[in-house]
Amino acid sequence: MNSSHGVTFNKLQKRLRRNTGQAIQDYQMITAGDRIMVCLSGGKDSYVMLDMLLSLQRRAPVEFELFAVNLDQKQPGFPADVLPDYLSSIEVPFHILEQDTYSVVKRVIPEGKTTCGLCSRLRRGALYRFAEQQGATKIALGHHRDDIIETLFLNLFHGGRLKAMPPKLLSDDGKHLVIRPLAYCSERDIGRYAAIKDFPIIPCNLCGSQTNLQRQVIKDMLQQWSHRHPGRIENIFRAIRHVSPSQLADRSLFDFTGLGQKPAPAEEESSNWLVPDRTCSTACPTTLGADA
């Protein structure tokens, strides 16, 4: 590595470390005595996450424990020795779980259909069970800023919900705290760092390329936006972190019903805005909220 490349790498490493540390601090992801299960897929994101956590562990003001876990899903041709060799070389405690989710996914999902949903649920269930067995206090996943933004648009366009991935999450059963230390890190930085570090990347080929996945469509859209409008991706993520419930329309998040109302006199009945005035032959537009 020449001097100019060395400077570039140092800046990149410091930025990733700073962003990871800031996310951990902002969301109180790690506390003293934590036993953190770091989920490794063999992809660039999880390698960088582990690298950042190990770096921060050496400098953190609190002590916490890390151990790595990989789920061998029995995909044909999966290089089973890659992760054990790598983790042994950096002296990180690890476990390799073996569960044939590949056969389940192939049996259940018709050919040509998206397999990611079922694959993710099966993988999550296996990891949650193992985390409980190992007494893990936190489960660390390698999702980054771009994953969070892509999920926002997937839910917006295809699910009709303003919903993304939170940096910190309590599982539905209340047993597991999931953290995403790379929540502030861009995929571009992660990819560059992984390439320079030359991590032994294992591609996910369970589902093949699946170039028409909706997530890939969203990713392409965001990349075009980023190229044409620099700073737009950063603004989108900033918006996810600065939500104004009173400026949206979710009645469960903001009391629109009580906004500006005065208590009705006891002898009077409150109006029902969903029922037309019976003295009118037709429903009044102002009563039903119709266009004038």
Q: Does domain 3-245 have CATH number 2.30.330.10?
A: no
| Nearest to 277, CA basis, from 288, 267, 265 | 288
**Beta strand pairing status for 35-39 and 94-98?**
unpaired
Half-sphere exposure for 11 (CA within 13 Å, toward CB): 6
Phi and psi at 154, nearest 5°, equal: -60, -45
Residue 92: both structure tokens together:
């990180």
Q: Which amino acid is at 222?
A: L
pLDDT at 109: 67
Q: Where does the chain show beta strands of DSSP type E?
A: 35-39, 65-72, 94-98, 138-140, 168-170, 177-179
Contact between residue 193 and residue 186 where contact means Cβ atoms under 8 Å apart: no
pLDDT at 291: 39
SS3 115: coil
The segments of the chain whose pLDDT lies below 50 read 209, 211, 273, 275-292
Q: Which amino acid is at 31?
A: T
